[in-house]
Structure 1
Amino acid sequence: MRTHPSDYLKAIAKREIAWLESHATSELLQHPLDNRSRAQKSPAAHVKLYKKFLEIADHILPQGELSKPVLWHCDLRPANIFVKNDRITSIVNWQHAWVGPLFMQARHPQLVAYDGEMMLHLPDRCEQPDKERDHEEKKRLQDQVERSLILRHYERGIRKASPLMNEIMSLPHGQTRHDLVTFAENTWNGDIIPFRKSLALVTRKWKKIIGPMPCPVSFTQKQVNAHLREGEGWMKHADFWESKQGLITRDGWTTNELYESLKKQYEEYTTRKASRKGVNPLRNLVWRDGL
């Protein structure tokens, strides 16, 4: 039986609703390292968002070839590719491979991925830095220019090598659509806030993304205000984890060599939070590898 690409999105929402209604309780929240919002702990709040998601699922993905089903290996890197005599002989670690719409699978390779502001040359003020701070600023701007130029070069090449990929990358509000689907997966053990933010953003930009058809869902001002209050604390958590990216996972795993240092940093971070909330900052510990 042929299916529509939107069935992929609906399957995500229906799966999550079924699990939430059958199994979700506050005791099952697997977040040993931070406090979550009130909505995060409410199964009903998650279900309400997924039902909104279902109402607009038919309109999120682009039509035609841009959403055809393709196989994606989500960990395709040199360590998983075997080569002999300049020929690929094997690709391993397929356990997380999956089939989904091309629009959801297409992305920039990690080598060229960059989502900051494009800057193709250094500003004039960086030509003769005269302070240590200016040197640091020049170094940051040089990195920004380098990453911008690499991405620009890749995008120019992809226009010729893969017009279909270029069309996806150039799709108006493509990132807004993509983020909504990405954040829809497993909000209970992940985060409800980015999913809710993405859903609200799609409703706000509906006419630009979809056209004149009225959006079937909406958020009240009260709901928006609640999101902003909860989102403020979430952003502080996000900033902390962003600063530790590559050193520790969100569920607390790190190496034995980094354990003591990161544990101390986390305890200092939670102590600052606890001083404002009156909670025990040491009730959670960072996990070591192998324990």
Structure 2
Amino acid sequence: PDAMSFVQAVVNIQQTWLKRFAPVRSPNDVFSFSGLDTSPDIHVRLLDQVLAIAPYLLPPDNLSFPVLWHTDLHGGNIMIKAEGAPDITGIIDWQRMSVAPLFMQCVYPEFVKYTGDDRIVLPPGLKLPELPPDFDQYSEDEQTLIKGQYRLAIFYKSYEASIAYNSPHQLAIHGYPDSDINHLKVFVGSSSRTWFDGAHHLFQYLLEIEENWDEIAPGTAFPVLWHKQDIEQYHRDYARLEAYDDCASRLVDELQIEASGWVSNERYEEVRAKCDELQRSWDVDKNGGPFPFQDGAPSDILS
């Protein structure tokens, strides 16, 4: 199957769910983010527009063939032998992994990413990083720290060199403009959960694509005719909903929890008390919507 088949499947599954199970929401529903969310029909219509636009956005076949890829490969998910040579004995945490086009899956494993010391500069291409020129001026403890970061940077660049020689398709993906790939990932991903995230996100992606259409498909008419009432509703709601997303994100940071609301058993009582306190002071009008962590709120995790 090609990448377009994947996009069609994502959209068809979501549209079928919307038609069969999504309830018509009351305009008074506090978690109806936008006027666009009161009816499943609006979501179905937006997803039809995704199918009209998608063929123009997809990367070439060599970046779109289906792969099974572990997209959360950090050190804790790699099992090695307790004794002897550190051979890999297993990879865990495969839930929610799937077969999907390469451009949707291809990421640097978490265990090789380098996000360490700013004094270690990662050069472009197949060049190795170097120690900072003033390395000798640091204290012994600082030098030890910098050397440790340097080894991690070498590890990262070695991985880059490895895929350059052994995985040309992966190298091609990483050479593709990040903005294009990330836009596609978000665009397709949003198509699978419009009812839970709100239609305004997908609507915004479609409008951004329209703004750049002359670069995406020169000489081709934009294949979507908007409903006037949808556009008007979008413009009424979007600024408020963007402010709400920002407030919810800052709330997650303040509580030091995951976006889904998950918290460890050890911190549960502490976070619950803090959450109750913040909910009492939450200003619905100022923050653009209801307090996000309460009964009936949508979850970041649907499976």
TM-score norm. by structure 1 comes to: 0.68
Q: Provide closer, same or farther for how the CA distance between residues 183 and 108 of structure 1 changes in structure 2, counting only shifts above 3 A.
A: farther
Task: Tell me whether 1:100 sits opposite 2:109 in the alignment.
Answer: no
Structure 1 position 272 matched with structure 2 position 279:
no
| SS of residue in 2 equivalent to 1:36 | coil
Matched, 1:52 2:49: yes
Question: 1:18: how far off?
Answer: 0.8
**Among 79, 83, 88, the residue aligned to 1:82:** 79
How far did residue 61 of structure 1 move? 1.6
The CA RMSD measured in Å over matched residues stands at: 4.0
Match of 2:196, SS state, is: coil
* Counterpart pick for 1:9 among 3, 7, 16: 7
Identity of aligned residues (%): 25
Please state how far the C-alpha of 1:52 moved relative to its aligned partner: 0.7
Which runs of structure 2 are paired with 1:1-291 in the superposition (5 Å)? Answer: 3-25=1-23, 36-84=33-81, 85-110=85-110, 112=113, 157=161, 159=164, 162-172=167-177, 173-217=180-224, 219=226, 222=232, 224-243=234-253, 247-250=257-260, 252-270=261-279, 271-274=281-284, 284=294
Structure 1 residue 235: Cα displacement: 2.6
Unaligned runs of 5+ in 1: 122-145
2:199 aligned partner, one-letter code = I
Partner AA of 1:209 in structure 2: I
Q: Are the counterparts in 1 of residues 52 and 224 from structure 2 also a CA contact under 8 Å?
A: yes
Q: Deviations over 1:39-71 (max 9, x none)?
A: 234312211211111112222221221101111
Residues 177, 202 of structure 1: 8 Å contact kept: no
CA distance in 1 between counterparts of 2:290 and 2:186 reads 35
Contact 2:72–2:109 under 8 Å retained in 1: no
One-letter amino acid of the counterpart of residue 102, structure 1? L
Contact kept in structure 1, 2:37 and 2:198, CA below 8 Å? yes
Shift of the 101–113 alpha-carbon distance from structure 1 to 2, 3 Å rule, reads farther
Give the aligned residue type for 1:177.
L
Give how far 1:107 is off.
1.9
Which one has a bigger Cα radius of gyration? 2
Distance 1:153 1:27 in 2: 51
In the alignment of these two chains, the number of paired residues is 250
CA contact (8 A) 2:200 2:234 kept: no
What's the TM-score, normalizing by structure 2? Answer: 0.66
